[in-house]
Structure 1
């Protein structure tokens, strides 16, 4: 089905084609007619399935024809930049001027206030910076009649629930609400129920048409030899780039230094980086001047690299949702990729729980010369530590601290 069959105008279809959107993805085919009709939409779709265009294309048409003003809330500054650039890439092919502004923390607020002078037809914002700008009277929240929550699960995982509720209280009651998320744990579903009015629901079932083409691998290795194995795999891969996920910012620095000492062009990427440093690392990674970026979940969430061949879980993710989001950094927009998890004896039980929650099985592999010597104990075969949907007090404190880094 072409974009023209979904109710989009010829001008918007032409802009999509010039952006090289030729055939709509399943989430785009399902969402675009509903959004054009004015429905509230609750959509679950995998990372990399084309959901940004699924709401951007119809909303740009409504901005032109129905005097819409659109607010898009996102969890991280990287995602704010990414979504803003994607929408600007469409707007430049339209004959009507549409002002798109992205605002986020970690940089000076003054240039963003200057960019907002006059108006913004489409505003992409992280919650903390949006509230700062509202406090400075740089934004009139009552002027937005369309709200998009993009990656809603991550907004809540990062502790933005209070900010979201404050923003909702400032928006007009009569508005269209679009709710996009890769996963729908209990807290996300509760938020959606409180925001949406008789929503049209879209759940992209797993099938060949919409499942990212990701080869998932699990390699058994002693914990003490993970870094050595990682370096060897990257060297053996030649020039292929890899995004490596770890548990903390300290480990990003340590592991990046280790890889660099092995002759691999690697850099850390975490929440304490300035926006300039983040942009520099991403630019070097996109241009292949860096072969490896070692990232935390929080910082890596906004990384969107075309044709990224490999994601590696050096440290296992804490929850099934994090696993889904991590591996979704590869095989984007119809591409293919590999997701590798390094599983030690001490993390075996945790990986089994991830498999159970995600209803999958990944065969364990061994690499010659790195055969594990550690033995999985009875205790380690038990429950393992896995993050529940309800955040603990410690998790909330961590999320609050991480939020201040990424606002």
Structure 2
């Protein structure tokens, strides 16, 4: 293990790292950064929440700081592609933090925002362009961006780009990039298509893998409730009331389902918001900010947010609906237990979702412990049994920690109204949420 200041980075970049409290690299950073600094193409596989942005961001910025000259109009020196608007904004925020005090410019282009404003910004050129593939194609078609000067390409969460059908966009973008160039591809999983993508866009890449594909973060406690579909809303409210102040991310399979679930929670007194494809970018940004700030404690989302939320304070992830793509389960629960913290992932499994659960367990090579209900014989593995305590929040009670909040303290009595905390229960999550 080495410290960041031993890497030979530009002095200004080292100072920014020290200023922001970065001292030792994470495992993915430890392996990927030296290879990238040497100019190799990098294929990085790591769980979500392990610091992949810094793993590609540091060598990318270091190279740009050592490269003289301003970007030409409409041009970019480096391109970072990500599958969702939220992830693009998150990456850009991190890169701007690292380029603070330098002359490097970071621009974002995503759908749902004024394309004319993006055209205006790009007309001056930018050092780093962070984009979703769809909007970038729109700008290319309008002649608003010239990618021929791009010498560094990053594909972040590349497996989700494949899931969302962006492979055709990548095939249009890649020929427009400058050569030679360095390419870094990062992902949490490694489906078969990823090998094809790697061979098409990377040249003799160095593979970096810090955990097996499909493995959840070590500090995530998982559980599953076997429950009828119509009983899911009541079970969710029961779970939420056990730790009212904790930040909880709830995943729904559909946009309409997410909106309906959110409105029901609000009507029952919970501080809830939703983000999904029917929301404008402004609405999504405001909801995430309120969630980050703690104004909203329950955020209901579709998979559009599975990889776009980097909030260390998320204590719980609830899979209200199991995802149809098993890999998405890994990405969803990766929204908790970030930055070395602990977290809990709770799944609901209705009778018609048994096959989805089997696929998830096959991918992760585990039997998720049962918190309540009975696992059908064709779902449960040899190690899947009813769990006694059920974790900190998700269990059915009766265990050593049943009925306790994230802090491990009794939650205190609640009033009869849904979500209205009583006056005697501690609100231990409040200070931590503000710190996040």
Q: What TM-score, normalized by structure 1, do the two folds share?
A: 0.87
Cα RMSD, aligned residues only: 2.0
Is the counterpart of residue 33 in structure 1 residue 34 in structure 2?
Answer: yes
Question: Could you tell me how far apart the structure 1 residues matched to 2:123 and 2:21 are?
Answer: 32
Is the counterpart of residue 173 in structure 1 residue 179 in structure 2?
Answer: yes
Q: Does the aligned pair in 1 maintain the 2:317–2:336 contact within 8 Å?
A: yes
Is the counterpart of residue 89 in structure 1 residue 90 in structure 2?
Answer: no
Is the counterpart of residue 357 in structure 1 residue 360 in structure 2?
Answer: no
Question: Could you tell me how far apart the structure 1 residues matched to 2:328 and 2:366 are?
Answer: 15
Summarize the alignment of residues 6-405 of structure 1 with structure 2, pairs less than 5 Å apart: 6-66=7-67, 69-92=77-100, 94=101, 96-205=102-211, 211-366=217-372, 376=376
Question: Could you tell me how far apart the structure 2 residues matched to 1:14 and 1:233 are?
Answer: 44
Question: Could you tell me how far apart the structure 2 residues matched to 1:168 and 1:332 are?
Answer: 32
More helix by share: 1
Partner SS for 1:304: coil
Q: CA deviation at 1:206?
A: 5.2
Partner SS for 1:361: coil
Q: CA deviation at 1:171?
A: 1.0
1:135-155 Cα offsets, whole Å, 9 max, x none, are 222211101011100110011
CA 1:42–1:149: 2 relative to 1, 3 Å: same
Q: CA deviation at 1:311?
A: 0.5
Q: Does the aligned pair in 2 maintain the 1:41–1:199 contact within 8 Å?
A: yes
Q: What TM-score, normalized by structure 2, do the two folds share?
A: 0.81
Q: Does the aligned pair in 2 maintain the 1:73–1:126 contact within 8 Å?
A: yes
Partner SS for 1:178: strand
Question: Could you tell me how far apart the structure 2 residues matched to 1:346 and 1:100 are?
Answer: 46
Q: CA deviation at 1:347?
A: 2.1
CA 1:23–1:381: 2 relative to 1, 3 Å: closer
Partner of 2:419: none
Gaps of 5+ in 1: 383-407
Partner SS for 2:313: coil
Q: How many residues align?
A: 371
CA 1:211–1:313: 2 relative to 1, 3 Å: closer
Gaps of 5+ in 2: 69-75, 382-436
Q: CA deviation at 1:221?
A: 2.1
Q: Does the aligned pair in 1 maintain the 2:250–2:299 contact within 8 Å?
A: yes
Question: Could you tell me how far apart the structure 1 residues matched to 2:269 and 2:181 are?
Answer: 54
Question: Could you tell me how far apart the structure 2 residues matched to 1:66 and 1:267 are?
Answer: 44
Partner SS for 2:308: coil
Question: Could you tell me how far apart the structure 2 residues matched to 1:334 and 1:24 are?
Answer: 12
Stretch moving more, 348-357 or 274-283: 348-357
Question: Could you tell me how far apart the structure 2 residues matched to 1:70 and 1:266 are?
Answer: 38
CA 1:211–1:354: 2 relative to 1, 3 Å: closer
Question: Could you tell me how far apart the structure 2 residues matched to 1:212 and 1:87 are?
Answer: 27
Question: Could you tell me how far apart the structure 2 residues matched to 1:165 and 1:81 are?
Answer: 23
Partner SS for 1:302: coil
Partner SS for 2:50: coil
Partner SS for 1:62: helix
Q: CA deviation at 1:320?
A: 2.3
Q: Does the aligned pair in 2 maintain the 1:245–1:297 contact within 8 Å?
A: yes
Q: Does the aligned pair in 1 maintain the 2:45–2:211 contact within 8 Å?
A: no
1:4-61 Cα offsets, whole Å, 9 max, x none, are 2233233212111222222110111111111111101111111110000111111111
Q: Does the aligned pair in 2 maintain the 1:48–1:332 contact within 8 Å?
A: yes
Stretch moving more, 255-264 or 131-140: 131-140
Stretch moving more, 45-54 or 347-356: 347-356
